[in-house]
Amino acid sequence: MGAGKTTLGKKLARKLGYSFYDIDKAFEQKYKTSVDLFFHKYGEEVFRQLEHELLVSTFQFTNTVISTGGGTPCFYNGMELINKNGISLYIKLSPEALYRRLTEAKKRRPLVAKKSEDELKQFIKEKLEEREEYYLRAKHQISGISVNTNNLIKILNT
């Protein structure tokens, strides 16, 4: 959350002339609720199963940049399946950089909106510790600070 998956994904898709698909947005359209509300109402396990089904459905797409949720690669062999069926990219940011971005976007992020400064820092630290082992399995890793689409296209073509 806050790494820039959607923003960068849309720019990259536009630059390549590809379609853009956001798994979180697709989830919300399909189930007629926000990811946060669904998560809190039905629990993480049900959410992750349905999210995984959406991920698998994207494997038939061509010429599409796909933005996953931050947890998508971490469940049900998600990263392995992504790598098998496409090109994965980890937008790497420090906990401090993520904190700054999420602080600026708190009003738009219900999951973090009510967290104090210390709670938000702890939340970010814990999520990165839980997930980074999966993120590091991505085929490509880039700094989220200095990324631009021209350099990204060069990286993806290697």
Give the structural domain span for 48.
5-156
What is the CATH number for 24? Answer: 3.40.50.300
> What's the chain's average pLDDT?
90
Q: What is the pLDDT of residue 40?
A: 86
The amino acid occupying position 2 is: G
As for how many domains the chain has, the answer is 1
Distance CA 78, CA 54 (A): 11
Higher pLDDT, 32 or 6: 32
> Do 59 and 36 touch, CB atoms closer than 8 A?
no
The amino acid occupying position 18 is: Y
Two tokens, residue 59: 């494997």
Contacts of 84 (CB under 8 A, 6+ apart): none
HEC profile for 128-154?
HHHHHHHHCCCCEEEECCCCCHHHHHH
Neighbouring C-beta atoms of residue 66, cutoff 10 Å = 25
Which pLDDT tens digit goes with each residue over 19-30? 999 999 999 999
Two tokens, residue 30: 């399909």
Q: What is the pLDDT of residue 107?
A: 54
Which pLDDT tens digit goes with each residue over 42-60? 999 999 999 999 999 999 9
Which pLDDT tens digit goes with each residue over 55-82? 999 999 999 999 999 999 999 999 999 9
Closest among 95, 100, 89, 104 to 127, alpha carbons compared? 95
Q: Helices in 17-141 by DSSP H: which ranges?
A: 23-31, 35-42, 44-57, 78-85, 95-104, 110-113, 117-135
